[in-house]
Amino acid sequence: MTTPITRYFLDEPKPRSVAFRYGYLAFLLALAVLAAVSASHLSATARGRYFGLVIPPTLLLSHLAFQFRWPVPVKVGLRLVTIIASGAVLVYTLMVAFN
């Protein structure tokens, strides 16, 4: 019997089509570039200026960690970094929303 934490960090990704994995990867890369370009055109005093710079990389990291096969140490590291980054993005989002 495996624990939920072990399953979360060590289970192999569910099989998806290659078109989904690489198509969504291309979409997320384009989204990250678009967000960076958009943020560079905002004024320095704009509220939440960097919001677009934290969401796309976090989505990209999550997609890489949970949709592709990696060696076990890399997989565990990617998934751990994804969880930490998601928590940081949540804190940043709440700070932008409520300040």
Average confidence (pLDDT) over 73-99? 90
Quickly list H helices, 1-99: 4-10, 18-40, 51-67, 72-98
Q: Is the pLDDT of residue 81 over 90?
A: yes
pLDDT at 1: 52
Query: Would you say 5 and 80 are in contact if contact means Cβ atoms under 8 Å apart?
Result: no
Residue with tokens 């990696």: 70
Q: Is the pLDDT of residue 89 over 80?
A: yes
> Taking the model in full, what pTM does it have?
0.80
| Cα 65 to Cα 51: distance, rounded to the nearest angstrom | 22
Q: In terms of Cα–Cα distance, which of 69, 74, 81, 80 is closest to 12?
A: 69
The count of residues in the chain is 99
* pLDDT tier for residue 80 given thresholds of 50, 70 and 90: very high
| Cα 36 to Cα 14: distance, rounded to the nearest angstrom | 31
Q: Which two tokens stand for residue 85?
A: 């980054």
Choose between 41 and 71: higher pLDDT: 71
